[in-house]
Amino acid sequence: MLKIINVVGARPNFMKMAPVMEEMRLRADHLQPLLVHTGQHYDEAMSDSFFEDLQMPRPDINLEVGSASHAEQTARVMMAFEKVLKEHQADWVIVVGDVNSTMAATLVAAKMLVKVAHIEAGLRSFDRSMPEEVNRLVTDALADLLLTPSPDANENLLREGVAQEKIRFVGNVMIDTLYRHLEHAKSSQILERLHLNKNHYCAMTLHRPSNVDDRATLTGILDALNAVQERLPVVFPIHPRTRARLDEFGLQSVVEKQRNLIVTEPLGYLDFLQLYSNSRLVLTDSGGIQEETTALGIPCLTLRQNTERPITVTQGSNRIVGNDPEVIKREAWNALDNPPAAMRVPDLWDGQAARRIVDAIEEAGQ
């Protein structure tokens, strides 16, 4: 029996872990998984609704660390997770993505000599001002099994001196979840609720500290948004960090003035899938949404200076446009007037990544 502790913490982790948990349940005769939620995200909209939408089992253990500074949040996860690892003898700890919880759980397991598998290993933005880049570097330096979503990730790891035999190209597990729920998402009433016509609106998300924590930058993005919403309605589900900054900077009125800007609370997985999969254009600074739009061929503008997911640009529908308002406006016009030609879905973004992931863990064994 292989004892496995699966760790999730924040919103973008849940859709990556769901298919892995499902695959492990199918192998219950020889795998014994435990699900630990660090509690980094804790709101109904940022956490609970995802467990429902994805039909994921409730966590066996919730560490309830909540929000705090980077150091404090990381430390709280480490202290609580160390107790879990002491109590439950595990052969493997499985971590996903690049959030603080990912790095914290990896550090604890490495010091307790428990093997770590990192799902979505090897992605690099080469920008250490992003907290996620630091999390990726630390996690990959310590992990025993590095499960990559794209060939560029393998190249990054090899360049950093990671041994070839620790690296496995398994594909993109978030796309397993996307394909699995595409049909189901059609029952969402989000388009009716917001009075939207398919292919006649844009969807936007924004939460990176580099975009929302600086008043001038956030004001510039709202200015670009104003121009886009004059052409087509824009739906903007607001992340809690962004909501807090809009209040702090007194920018709520700038948002409210925009007639065609539809602001909502953060949406659940199925509502958001139905929303972006029927949109004409997506504007985002998220990592995962760059991949989801590529898988579906929806034009995407990424409001960042770089991406750790270059395959979404070279093969997919993504363009990196930064956060200069004039550039965003120009690129949005361009994308609306000249939608990109057909793109190619990257290799192994085929809905079967979870099976390859669990195979790789089993092969690595105890």
The end-to-end CA distance of the chain, in Å, is 9
Return the number of the residue (76 or 356) whose C-beta is nearest ligand UD1: 76
Convert residues 5-24 into a mask of x (bound to ligand UD1 by CB under 6 A) and - (unbound): -----xxx------------
Tokens of 192: 């009716």
Closest by alpha carbon to 68, among 108, 100, 37?
100
Closest by alpha carbon to 328, among 235, 233, 211, 240?
211
| Element at 99 (helix H, strand E) | none
Q: Please say whether the beta carbons of 106 and 143 come within 8 A.
A: yes
Binding to ligand UD1 by residue 40, rule CB under 6 A? yes
Q: Which of residues 124-163 bind ligand UD1 (CB under 6 A)?
A: 131-132
Q: How far is the CB of 151 from ligand UD1 (least distance, A)?
A: 23
The size of the interface with ligand UD1 (CB under 6 A), counted in residues, is 20
Q: Which of residues 42-101 bind ligand UD1 (CB under 6 A)?
A: 42-43, 46-47, 67, 98-100
Return the number of the residue (107 or 191) whose C-beta is nearest ligand UD1: 107
Q: How far is the CB of 132 from ligand UD1 (least distance, A)?
A: 5
Given the DSSP bridges, would you call strands 300-302 and 281-284 parallel, antiparallel or unpaired?
Answer: parallel
Q: Please say whether the beta carbons of 46 and 12 come within 8 A.
A: no
Among 41, 118, 181, 207, the active-site one is 207
- CA separation for the pair 15, 177 (Å, rounded): 6
Closest by alpha carbon to 262, among 235, 226, 241?
235
Q: How far is the CB of 320 from ligand UD1 (least distance, A)?
A: 17
- CA separation for the pair 39, 30 (Å, rounded): 28
Query: Has 70 been annotated as catalytic?
Result: no
Q: Which of residues 207-226 bind ligand UD1 (CB under 6 A)?
A: 207
User: What does the binding site for ligand UD1 look like in residue numbers (CB under 6 A)?
Assistant: 10-12, 40-43, 46-47, 67, 98-100, 131-132, 207, 239-241, 244
The residues assigned a catalytic role are 207
